[in-house]
């Protein structure tokens, strides 16, 4: 096991913690955070796999920088949607019952 | 040399565990403000993890965007969410 | 979600995580992936830093479309702002004001430095743009209306040149006989700095606008 593999495992862990929260939490704000943490998990796996025995591959680094900027713009849009939902229904929570 | 390797392994393991723990706490605490604060802390630790993975460019982007700007966005959204309605709509 | 369903969901995710982990651990850590190709082409890219070369030259498409994505997210946010309470948050704190008065000029210099240094070491348009946007956010915390008073409509105009200059440079390189975004070799360095400079400004203004909310087009609060 190398440190890069350790971080790749951490990345997988982050992805699945996020996915679990996305399925379980009902409030929209933790769901948005869950998507962000899932994204971070994917980025960690990408960058960890970029660390090779004979140097660091810069291509995944560039992809992750692009990804971070896209993630923040998507988060901003999602937060707006959340505020809109809260404004329209009076609460930013999704319920299971489906009668809303 | 062996000592150095051990220290760096211990650091990596502690950092990985802290990331997972912060992510868990951030997503499953009932207090939304606490969630946001933990998410910002998570972003800062991510920046350290990028440095450990020899990705200084990503670390800079994460520190400025992931921890800084996302935190500001989340805080302002949270403040608007929890603020009692003001009579803004009539103004339009 | 009931207790049983929740446990089943957790179990399913655990199985998936275990499978994914075993696959990832089998990926060999040897070989250089795309690194050798990047390093071989680096002298012709116009910059000395591999990540900047990938972002602005080899994979310029990605960066160009990313700027478009940023703009689209902003338009989406504007479309939603109709019913959202945009009234400024209450942030009147003296210490913050003093600190920001000191920090904002420093942040502007840091952003310019990051942009410049991106050509040969870690840094570049995204990091610089994020720092600049951070400066804008700090200003908004002290004085929510600063942009509408200080820079009038210039702020909104600055949303576009990042995409526009990138597009024009790409088309110009087609006119000069290359592919879209295939910069002429001897001008690559300066073209990249040009594209990055405008991209940084547009990224900064877009991110700040996402934070600060909608400008009131056509007046009227």
What is the domain partition of chain A in residue ranges?
3-89
Does residue C176 carry a pLDDT above 50? yes
Per residue in C141-173, pLDDT (tens digit) is 887 777 666 665 667 778 888 888 888 888 888
Residue in A10, A65, A92 nearest the CB of B81: A92
Q: Computed over its alpha carbons, how large is the radius of gyration of chain C?
A: 22
What pLDDT score was predicted for residue A9? Answer: 94
Q: How close does chain B come to A97, measured CA to CA in Å?
A: 21
Does residue C23 carry a pLDDT above 80? yes
Higher-confidence position of A28 and C3? A28
Residue in B60, B61, B89 nearest the CB of C83: B89
Q: Which of A14-18, C43-47, C161-165, C207-211 has the highest mean pLDDT?
A: A14-18
What pLDDT score was predicted for residue B1? Answer: 64
Residue in B8, B16, B66 nearest the CB of A68: B66
What pLDDT score was predicted for residue B85? Answer: 54
Q: How confident is the model at residue C9 (pLDDT cuts 50, 70, 90)?
A: very high
Contacts by B33-41, CB closer than 8 A, 24 or more apart: B33/B78, B35/A29, B35/A30, B35/A33, B36/A29, B36/A33, B36/B71, B36/B74, B36/B75, B36/B78, B39/A33, B39/A36, B39/A37, B39/B70, B39/B71, B39/B74, B40/B67, B40/B70, B40/B71, B40/B74
Average pLDDT over residues B30-51: 94
Q: Is A51 on the interface with C (CB under 8 A)?
A: yes
Kind and range of the H or E run holding A56: strand A55-56
Higher-confidence position of A86 and C17? C17
Report the C-alpha gap between A34 and B23 in whole angstroms: 8
What pLDDT score was predicted for residue C20? Answer: 92
- Alpha helices (H) in A51-96, listed in sequence order: 58-89
What pLDDT score was predicted for residue B87? Answer: 42
Residue in B9, B20, B62 nearest the CB of A10: B20
- Looking at the DSSP bridge assignments, the partners of residue A27 are A93
Percent of all residues in chain C with a pLDDT value above 70, rounded to a whole number: 84
Q: How confident is the model at residue C96 (pLDDT cuts 50, 70, 90)?
A: confident
Does residue C111 carry a pLDDT above 80? yes
CA-based nearest residue to C173, from C34, C61, C70: C61
Instruction: Count B/C contacts: CB-CB distance under 8 Å.
Output: 51
Minimal Cα distance from C58: which residue of A? A59
Average pLDDT, chain C: 82
User: Following CA atoms C11, B37, B15, A14 in sequence, which dihedral angle do they give, to the nearest 10 degrees?
Assistant: 30
Does residue C121 carry a pLDDT above 90? no
Write down the residue that tokens 């990408």 correspond to: A46
Q: How confident is the model at residue C45 (pLDDT cuts 50, 70, 90)?
A: confident
Percent of all residues in chain C with a pLDDT value above 90, rounded to a whole number: 24
Q: Is C173 on the interface with B (CB under 8 A)?
A: no
Average pLDDT over residues C29-45: 78
Contacts of A64 in chain B (CB under 8 A): 55, 58, 61
Per residue in A12-54, pLDDT (tens digit) is 999 999 999 998 998 999 999 999 999 999 999 999 988 877 7
Q: Is C168 on the interface with A (CB under 8 A)?
A: no
| Residue ranges of domains in chain B | 2-82
Lowest-pLDDT range of B1-5, B57-61, C206-210: B1-5
What pLDDT score was predicted for residue C221? Answer: 35
Do the Cβ atoms of C84 and A54 come within 8 Å? no
Report the C-alpha gap between C85 and B79 in whole angstroms: 11
What pLDDT score was predicted for residue A99? Answer: 44
Does residue C91 carry a pLDDT above 70? no
Please provide residue C220's backbone torsions phi and psi, each rounded to the nearest 5 degrees: 85, 120
Report the C-alpha gap between C156 and C135 in whole angstroms: 17
Higher-confidence position of C179 and C210? C210
Lowest-pLDDT range of A66-75, B22-31, B45-54, C54-63: C54-63
Minimal Cα distance from C210: which residue of B? B73
What pLDDT score was predicted for residue B49? Answer: 94
What pLDDT score was predicted for residue C170? Answer: 85
Kind and range of the H or E run holding A52: strand A51-52
Do the Cβ atoms of C29 and A2 come within 8 Å? yes
Q: Which architecture, in CATH terms, is A3-89? A: Orthogonal Bundle (1.10)
Average pLDDT, chain B: 86
Do the Cβ atoms of B53 and A37 come within 8 Å? no
Sequence-ordered list of residues with C-beta below 8 angstroms from that of A57, at least 6 positions apart, any chain? A50, A51, C32, C33, C34, C35, C38
Does residue B91 carry a pLDDT above 60? no
């Amino acid at each position: 096991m190398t440190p890069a593999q350790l971080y790749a495992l951490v990345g997988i862990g982050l992805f699945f913690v996020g996915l679990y929260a996305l399925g379980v939490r009902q409030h929209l704000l933790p769901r948005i955070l869950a998507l962000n943490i899932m994204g971070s998990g994917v980025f960690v796996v990408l960058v960890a796999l970029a660390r090779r025995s004979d140097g660091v591959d810069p291509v995944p680094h560039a992809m992750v920088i692009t990804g971070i900027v896209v993630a923040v713009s998507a988060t901003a849009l999602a937060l707006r949607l959340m505020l809109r939902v809260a404004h329209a229904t009076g609460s930013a929570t999704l319920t299971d019952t489906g009668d809303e | 040399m062996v000592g150095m390797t051990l220290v760096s392994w211990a650091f990596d393991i502690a950092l990985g565990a802290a990331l997972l723990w912060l992510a868990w706490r951030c997503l499953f605490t009932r207090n939304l403000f606490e969630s946001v604060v933990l998410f910002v802390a998570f972003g800062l630790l991510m920046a350290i993890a990028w440095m450990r993975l020899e990705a200084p460019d990503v670390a800079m982007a994460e520190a400025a965007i992931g921890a800084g700007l996302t935190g500001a966005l989340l805080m302002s959204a949270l403040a608007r969410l929890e603020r009692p309605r003001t009579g803004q709509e009539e103004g339009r | 979600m009931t207790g049983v369903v929740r446990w089943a969901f957790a179990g399913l995710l655990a199985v998936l995580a275990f499978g994914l982990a075993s696959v990832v651990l089998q990926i060999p850590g040897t070989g250089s992936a795309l690194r050798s190709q990047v390093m071989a082409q680096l002298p012709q890219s116009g910059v000395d830093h591999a990540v900047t070369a990938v972002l602005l030259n080899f994979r310029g498409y990605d960066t160009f479309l990313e700027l478009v994505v940023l703009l689209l997210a902003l338009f989406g946010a504007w479309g939603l702002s109709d019913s959202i309470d945009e009234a400024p948050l209450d942030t009147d704190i003296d210490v913050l004001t003093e600190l920001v008065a000191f920090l904002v000029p420093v942040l502007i210099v840091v952003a310019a430095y990051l942009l410049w240094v991106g050509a040969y070491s870690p840094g570049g348009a995204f990091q610089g743009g994020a720092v600049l946007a951070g400066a804008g956010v700090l200003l908004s915390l002290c004085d929510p209306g600063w942009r509408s008073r200080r820079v009038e409509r210039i702020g909104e105009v600055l949303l576009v040149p990042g995409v526009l200059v990138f597009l024009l440079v790409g088309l110009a390189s087609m006119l000069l006989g290359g592919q879209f975004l295939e910069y002429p070799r001897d001008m690559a360095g300066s073209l990249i700095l040009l594209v990055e400079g405008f991209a940084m400004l547009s990224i900064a203004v877009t991110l700040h606008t996402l934070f600060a909310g909608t400008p009131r087009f056509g007046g009227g609060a």
